[in-house]
Amino acid sequence: MWTVVYIASSEIVANEVCARLRHEGVLAKAKAIGGAKTRTEYQILVMQSELTDVRELLPTLLHDALNAVRDGTSGGAAL
């Protein structure tokens, strides 16, 4: 079962977070949420079986991912 672990504010951030999770060996995917009248955000989902590991990784991973996007050094693949 897939579980939401983060809501990304943009596709670029979602790509970077997913790429970093995958680099750590975590199966991750992003799902766009919102509609035409609202700003699109992206759910970051991981398998429930990996949730304990992801909870340990997430604070540092998010910090690094957001800095990479801010600095323009993001290397995340497209969704």
How deeply is 12 buried, as exposed, middle or buried, from its count of CB atoms within 10 A (0-12, 13-18, 19+)? middle
pTM of the model: 0.83
* Domains, the chain: 2-70 (3.30.70)
- Please tell me the predicted confidence (pLDDT) of residue 76: 56
How deeply is 18 buried, as exposed, middle or buried, from its count of CB atoms within 10 A (0-12, 13-18, 19+)? buried
pLDDT in tens, the chain (79 residues): 999 999 999 999 999 999 999 999 999 999 999 866 677 899 999 999 999 999 999 999 999 999 999 998 876 554 4
Q: Which of 66, 78, 76 is nearest to 9 (CA)?
A: 66
Q: Which of 20, 47, 51, 45 is nearest to 32 (CA)?
A: 45
- Check if the beta carbon of residue 32 is closer than 8 Å to that of residue 40: yes
Those residues whose C-beta lies under 8 Å from the C-beta of residue 22, and which sit 6 or more positions away, are 28
Length of the chain: 79
